[in-house]
Every structure is written in structure tokens, then in C-alpha cells.
Structure 1
Amino acid sequence: MAAPSEELNCQDFSEFQDVLRVMRQIDDRIVHELNTIIPTASFAGKIDANQTCKQLYESLKQAHVSREKAIKSCINESSSRVNKLREERNKDMDNLTLLKQLRKEQTNLKLIQSELNVEEVVNDRSWKVFKDRCRIHYKPPNSP
């Protein structure tokens, strides 16, 4: 259930979003996952809800950390390109191609940065659902 180790293409925002979408599948499917792994009262003795909630907690935590690292890595990469293009543009103010590249990269950087906000919303929703369903079965060491 861990996030795929796909490589993010930070220069192509649509491809970047596609990879993030795949990495967010654990969060998108959390309600279904919890309905599947948390037993009803009649099946409580057949499934170790403590262990399944613990495993889900670890998977969620790992997925969230990995996505945040990937997004921040792309932000750093894009910021470096913006700074480099700014320097080049300052040396050659008449170069319209450089201006277009700079604007395109600045837009890309803003879009990537906005994914941190999306990530926060996705993570908050997942932790809320997790806590609602697993709170009686498992208490995480450091509750998010």
C-alpha cells in the first residue's frame, strides 16, 4: 500500500500531477480501505484491528512523507531554474525567448507550490478518517 517510487518530472506540470495522483491513491481510497480492514462487531474476533490500523498508519505516514519530499524537491529544482533564467535575462534584457522561458518556469513553480496546499488538505482529510475509524483500535505514537 506504499506510494509508488515513480520519478517526478518537475518541468511538466501535467505529468507531475499525474504522478502525484497515483501517489495519493492511498488517501483517495482510505474510506474503502478502512471499511475493508476494520471489522464489524460480529467479525471482531477474526481480524486484528490493532495491527491493521497500525499498518495503515505506517503506510499513510510513509506516503505523506514521500509526497512532501517529492513536491519540495520539485520546488527547489524549479526555483533554481527560475533563478538561473533571471540571471540570464538580466544579462540580456532584449531576449524575448528568455523572458518567455522565465515566465513559463515561474508559472510552473507557482503551480508546484500550490500542490503543498493540496497536500495539506488531502493529509488532513485522511488523518481525520483514520482517527475516526481506528481510534478505539490503535493509538499512534505521534498522532498527526
Structure 2
Amino acid sequence: MAAPGGVLNCEDFSLFQEVLKVMRTIDDRIVHSLNTTVPTASFSGKVDATQTCKELYESLMEAHLSRDKAIKSCIKETSAVVSQLREERAKDSDNLSVIKQLRKEQTKLKLMQSELNVEEVVNDRSLKVFNERCRIHYTPPKIK
């Protein structure tokens, strides 16, 4: 899965987190973006706040969706590896290298699943800040 900072690497959790960090830049800078693009009441005539808020919202949603897909893709990939290793362990329960690799992959899978929770918090925070500044200028469509 391609990401702004490169290719999302599901095998190395540290690289996986690093790419997610880069992908979360828009959320990390939401306050700055809103402060520099959405006008205060005294400057409201100079900038189209509705269009600006709409574009920012669409960028946020696109970023949230791409990260969600990336995380779920890696979870799926790692789950497949865990399943394969479980089958190998079932065939040869004395093979320590398979057991060790299985534990490693299971841990990585749990960490990736926890990234979904982190993602939810990041998304909620960004949308809260967005709604505080843009609610009078733009109302996002209802998500079904």
C-alpha cells in the first residue's frame, strides 16, 4: 500500500508506525491549518470560508480513509502469516523457531490492532477541532 512517506511496510512494525506518523501529519497540523485558512469575523470577506472548510474536510476524510485502509491491510496480511505459522506449529509442535516466530507475529498483530484505536482517537480529535472552527461555514455530509 502506497503512502505519502513511501511504501507501507507491514513486516517491520517500527517502519509501519513511522509511515503512519507521516500519514497523520494533516491531523497533527489541523489547528494550524484552520488558523491560517479559516478567517475570523473581521477577515471573513476576504476568504471563502465555506470552500476552505469543505476542502479541508475532504482532505481529512481522504487521509483518514487511506490510513484506515493501510492499517487494515497490514492487519489482514499479518493475520495470514499468523494463521500459516499456527498451521506449521500444529504439524511440528516441537519446532522452537516456528513457535518463536508465531509469538513475534502475534505480538505485531496486536500492536497493529491497537493502531486502529489510536486512529480512532486521532480522527475524533481532528473532527472535533474541525467542527469547532468550521461549523458555521460548512456542514459535512452525514456519514451513514
SS of the aligned residue for 1:93 comes to: coil
Distance, in Å, in 2 between the alignment partners of 1:35 and 1:90 is 57
Distance, in Å, in 2 between the alignment partners of 1:109 and 1:10 is 10
CA contact (8 A) 2:57 2:140 kept: yes
Q: Which runs of 4+ in 1 moved over 6 A?
A: none
Structure 2 unaligned spans of 5+: none
| Aligned sequence identity (%) | 73
**Aligned amino acid, residue 88 of structure 1:** E
Q: For this pair of structures, how many residues does the alignment match? A: 142
Aligned partner of 2:4 in structure 1 is 4
**Aligned amino acid, residue 101 of structure 1:** Q
Aligned partner of 2:35 in structure 1 is 35
Residue 13, structure 1, aligned to residue 13, structure 2: yes
Aligned partner of 2:24 in structure 1 is 24
Aligned partner of 1:80 in structure 2 is 80
Distance, in Å, in 1 between the alignment partners of 2:60 and 2:143 is 12
Distance, in Å, in 1 between the alignment partners of 2:143 and 2:27 is 17
Tell me the CA shift for residue 94 of structure 1: 1.0
Aligned partner of 1:138 in structure 2 is 138
Tell me the CA shift for residue 138 of structure 1: 0.5
Q: What is the CA deviation profile of residues 89-125 of structure 1, one whole-angstrom value per residue up to 9, with x for unaligned ones?
A: 1111111000110000000000000000000000000
Distance, in Å, in 1 between the alignment partners of 2:61 and 2:67 is 10
Tell me the CA shift for residue 4 of structure 1: 1.9
Tell me the CA shift for residue 132 of structure 1: 0.3
15-24 or 37-46, which moves further after superposition? Answer: 37-46
Aligned partner of 1:97 in structure 2 is 97
Aligned partner of 2:56 in structure 1 is 56
TM-score (norm: length of structure 2): 0.95
CA contact (8 A) 2:89 2:99 kept: yes
Distance, in Å, in 2 between the alignment partners of 1:15 and 1:31 is 27
108-117 or 39-48, which moves further after superposition? Answer: 39-48
Tell me the CA shift for residue 143 of structure 1: 5.7
Q: What is the CA deviation profile of residues 12-59 of structure 1, one whole-angstrom value per residue up to 9, with x for unaligned ones?
A: 010000000000000000001100001122211111000000000000
CA contact (8 A) 2:31 2:129 kept: yes
Q: CA RMSD in A?
A: 1.4
Distance, in Å, in 2 between the alignment partners of 1:135 and 1:40 is 13
Structure 1 unaligned spans of 5+: none
